[in-house]
Amino acid sequence: MGAVDVFLELALILVIAKLFGYLTVRLGFPAALGQLVGGIIVGPSLLDLVAYDEGVKLLADLGVVMLLFLAGLETDIEEFKHVGVPAFIVASLGVLVPFVLGYLAAMAWGYSNVQSLFLGGVLTATSVGLTTSILMEMKKLRTRVGTTILAAAVVDDILGIIMLTILVGVNTRGSVYARDLLIILSEVGVYFILGLLVGHPAVKRALKASEKITLPETVTAMAIAIMLIFAYLAERFQIAGITGAYLAGILVAGTDEAKKVTNKTMTIGYSLFIPIFLVSIGVESNVRVLTHAGSFALVYALLAVAGKVFGCGFGAFVSKFKPVESFQVGIGMIPRMEIALIMANVALDEGVFTSGLFSIPVTMVLVTTIVTPFLLKWAFSRE
């Protein structure tokens, strides 16, 4: 595909994002839902106008990184400190309950023990990008519920990596070495300790120094560079890049330049990168998979929804959230995407999943992505 075609694709994506987003807002739903639907329409599911090549994918990846960076910038630091323990409880039960449900259901359906373990493992990972966009749009991100969802997603990401390591070890060696888990935990610990202790003063100095460079938007450019560096380092430490971007946002939020950076980054993000990310979710969601999905695929998708609602919701409830808040936390943790598909791909590469079995997690990702905007809107309307 030539550069001219990519230009037309991007133009179409941006028009679709704003048009469909506007229409769904007028109907009383989050703009992200319209952007998702617009992506499905122009993607391979229906009109097949967007090929979603490497160029579009890169901009979409930058969009989700920027979205989580903005979420970090808008996080209430004091509230974040207060939700540490509840977030860990929410994430832990949000991993345990879906895993058990997925494993037991797969075993009951006649899948092998290893296949059932991987099917359970795929259900554990939350993708918080879509939820973050909707919470920001509804002005709910800086609430106790919003902060807990984001903090729990960070813990969830780490637990998902540990889960994948365990499953690969069980499949290849029949057992898991404690050394492997210790290495992962050490890398995660080093990343966050260095990020907070070294990163905090380094970010302050970098932004302050950038003000002395008399070129347009130097401070904003430096902040975006910091975001990308933290995302890169997170990936190097086996953590999702979006987690690194979120941590970068929290650190930048504690500087004198935070307000300026937030306003400029929001303009850049919502003009180009974030709409591309949200539409790309729909483009990647080939709804034709649903026509080939068997009964277990639909049961599996329902368990994915129920597992997070009950697991995370109960975790929030025992952490002394109100029942409606607990329900909102559970709904916010429903979406699955990147890590779930990575786990499924690993299972495919390991020979655990067949191509037919791989369609089950794909169906689950599609269903959880589509239902979340509706459920979040409904959950917050109950306040």
Nearest by Cα to 86 from 141, 36, 154, 169: 154
Q: 81 is in which domain, residue-wise?
A: 59-278+290-381
**Is 136 part of a structural domain of the chain?**
yes
- Given a cut of 80, whether residue 349 has pLDDT beyond it is no
Phi/psi of residue 319, nearest 5 degrees: -90, 15
Total structural domains in the chain? Answer: 1
The domain that contains 194 carries what CATH number?
1.20.1530.20
- Given a cut of 70, whether residue 289 has pLDDT beyond it is no
- Given a cut of 90, whether residue 218 has pLDDT beyond it is yes
- Given a cut of 80, whether residue 33 has pLDDT beyond it is no
**Is 251 part of a structural domain of the chain?**
yes
- Given a cut of 80, whether residue 341 has pLDDT beyond it is no
**Is 20 part of a structural domain of the chain?**
no
Distance from C-alpha of 117 to C-alpha of 102, rounded to nearest angstrom: 8
**Is 199 part of a structural domain of the chain?**
yes
Tell me the average pLDDT of the chain: 85
DSSP state of 126: -
Note the pLDDT tens digit of each residue in 167-208.
Answer: 877 777 666 567 776 777 787 778 888 888 888 899 999 999
Query: pLDDT at position 137, please?
Result: 83
Confidence label for 293 from pLDDT (cuts 50, 70 and 90)? low
Note the pLDDT tens digit of each residue in 302-323.
Answer: 999 999 999 999 999 999 999 9
Distance from C-alpha of 29 to C-alpha of 370, rounded to nearest angstrom: 13
- Given a cut of 90, whether residue 228 has pLDDT beyond it is yes
**Is 28 part of a structural domain of the chain?**
no
- Given a cut of 60, whether residue 1 has pLDDT beyond it is no
- Given a cut of 90, whether residue 225 has pLDDT beyond it is yes
Confidence label for 329 from pLDDT (cuts 50, 70 and 90)? very high
**Is 31 part of a structural domain of the chain?**
no
**Is 283 part of a structural domain of the chain?**
no
Distance from C-alpha of 150 to C-alpha of 72, rounded to nearest angstrom: 9
Nearest by Cα to 93 from 361, 306, 310, 300: 310
Note the pLDDT tens digit of each residue in 93-139.
Answer: 999 999 999 999 999 999 998 899 999 999 998 877 778 888 888 88
Nearest by Cα to 252 from 290, 182, 202: 202
**Is 202 part of a structural domain of the chain?**
yes
Q: What value does the mean pLDDT take over residues 341-354?
A: 80
Nearest by Cα to 90 from 150, 30, 168, 134: 150
